[in-house]
Amino acid sequence: KNLVSFCGENVRKVGPTRFEMTAENFYPEHDIDILLLAPSGGSGG
């Protein structure tokens, strides 16, 4: 399984693999950062 990390305010789960965030008069302080993690296939550690 792959993992995705995202931080935001008032994020809600709208489906098994979908999340939604809504905001009014939103102005981002910086570009969005999203972290994607995929297994390496090794033994880990």
pLDDT 10s digits, 4-17: 777 788 889 999 88
Confidence of residue 36 (pLDDT cuts 50, 70, 90): confident
**Averaged pLDDT, 22-29:** 88
- Burial pattern 6-40, b for ≥16 Cβ within 10 A else e, equals eeeeeeeeeeeeeeeeeeeeeeeeeeeeeeeeeee
Residue 44 lies in a domain: no
**Averaged pLDDT, 15-23:** 89
Residue 22 lies in a domain: yes
Residue 16 lies in a domain: yes
Residue 25 lies in a domain: yes
Residues in contact with 4: Cβ distance below 8 Å, sequence separation at least 6, in sequence order: 34, 35, 36, 37
Percentage with pLDDT > 70 across the chain: 91
Question: With contact defined as beta carbons under 8 Å apart, do 39 and 1 qualify?
Answer: yes
Number of domains in the chain: 1
Domain span at residue 30 reads 3-37
Residue 27 lies in a domain: yes
